């Protein structure tokens, strides 16, 4: 429930003093409303809200890295397990994952 509370809090913030932020906030609210309406969890994450020691999740396998060796996209910084070395980054889709 903490994640939903955080999203709700972020979407209720006043951004009127930030140029262009109101339009982006409206987009975010529409996206959130669509997600809530569909109620589908497409991906299952290996994630425990109570465990704050390692929050790193592999962007390709969607499992916690648990201190295992990782590779990284040099453009966007996305992390993946080392077994995905030289795979194309699935976040920015611009670079290969490197050590």
pLDDT in tens, 37-56: 777 667 676 666 676 666 78
CB 3 within 8 A of CB 10: no
What is the domain extent for residue 23? 2-38
Instruction: Please tell me what DSSP assigns to residue 55.
Output: -
**Which is higher by pLDDT, 4 or 90?**
90
DSSP E strand boundaries for 33-78? 70-73
Are residues 48 and 29 both part of a single domain?
Answer: no
pLDDT digits (tens, 9 = 90+) for 73-98: 999 999 999 999 999 999 999 999 99
Hey, what are 49's tokens? 């809200």
Map tokens 């994450």 to a residue: 45
Has residue 60 got a pLDDT over 90? yes
How many other C-beta atoms lie within 10 A of the C-beta of residue 28? 15
Residue with tokens 């648990």: 66
Q: Both 53 and 94 in a single domain?
A: yes
52 and 87 in a single domain? The answer is yes
Residue with tokens 């262009």, as numbered in its chain:
20
Burial degree of 69 (CB within 10 A; 0-12, 13-18, 19+): exposed
Count structural domains, the chain: 2
The whole-chain average pLDDT of the chain stands at: 84
Region 28-41: mean pLDDT is 80
């Amino acid at each position: 429930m903490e994640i939903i509370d955080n999203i709700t809090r972020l979407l209720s913030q006043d951004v009127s003093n930030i140029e262009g932020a109101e339009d982006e906030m409206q987009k975010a609210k529409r996206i959130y409303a669509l997600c809530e309406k569909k109620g589908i969890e497409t991906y299952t994450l290996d994630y425990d809200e109570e465990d704050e020691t390692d929050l790193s999740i592999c962007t390709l396998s969607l499992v916690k890295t648990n201190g295992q060796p990782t590779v990284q996209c040099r453009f966007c910084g996305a992390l993946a397990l080392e077994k995905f070395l030289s795979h194309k980054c699935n976040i920015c889709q611009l670079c290969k994952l490197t050590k």
